[in-house]
Amino acid sequence: MKRSLHLTGRLSMAVLAAASAACGNRDNRTASSSADSTRTDSSLTASVSDSTASSTASSTTSPGMGPQSDEQIAWTLLNANSSDSALGAQAKRLGKSADVRAFGDHMVKDHGKNNQELRALLKQQSITVRAGSDSAMNASEASQTQAQLDTTKAFDAAYISRAAEMHRNLLQKLDSTMIPQAKNADLKAHLQKTRPDVAEHLKRAEELQAKLPRSANQAGTSK
């Protein structure tokens, strides 16, 4: 009887020891899993931080974001004037509405005159223009726009929409880059004189957009 009790006690102790070991292993695995999870979360956080930092650095060092020289500023305006004049000539030829044709004629005259005055100024000041970082893109876009307008049925809406966009972009450049960064006093004065004209052109384009029939307006902006 005593031997039986002794064996039973030994078995109970063995069972308890095994259970304790199992619990210990489970706790170790849980702790290990928790540690691995923490390390993984930390790695993911670091990866996201690195990606964000890289993206931010890239966005602040994109081409065209640096200071512009007088030559580059002059080229930007020459290019904008030429593009607006070319599209205005298309509007005179293809416009269905008398208002659109008149606006196109206004663009040809105003931007053509601005370029004449600017070229004379550059010659007088011995400023040799050179392409800005976005000049190739601007020339390509202008060419594509002309080709698209030649084939679109809703010409008036498409032209006025593009004209408004171009003048909006030029006005933003004048305010943020061109006028503040121009060093030559005569060039800066020309830019300051140009700004009200660009603002007036934008206002007129937006008024024509609102005046066009809704169906035509939607057709022009859906391309």
Quick one: DSSP state of residue 212? Answer: S
**CA–CA dist 103, 160 (Å, integer):** 9
Per-residue pLDDT of the chain (223 residues; tens, 9 = 90+): 444 434 344 444 444 444 444 444 444 444 444 444 444 344 333 333 343 333 333 333 333 447 899 999 999 999 999 999 999 999 999 999 999 999 999 999 999 999 999 999 999 999 998 665 444 445 556 566 666 666 666 899 999 999 999 999 999 999 999 999 999 999 999 999 999 999 999 999 999 999 887 544 444 444 4
**CA–CA dist 95, 104 (Å, integer):** 8
Cβ proximity of 111 and 84 under 8 Å = yes
Domain spanning 70-221: CATH 3.90.25.10: no
pTM score above 0.85: no
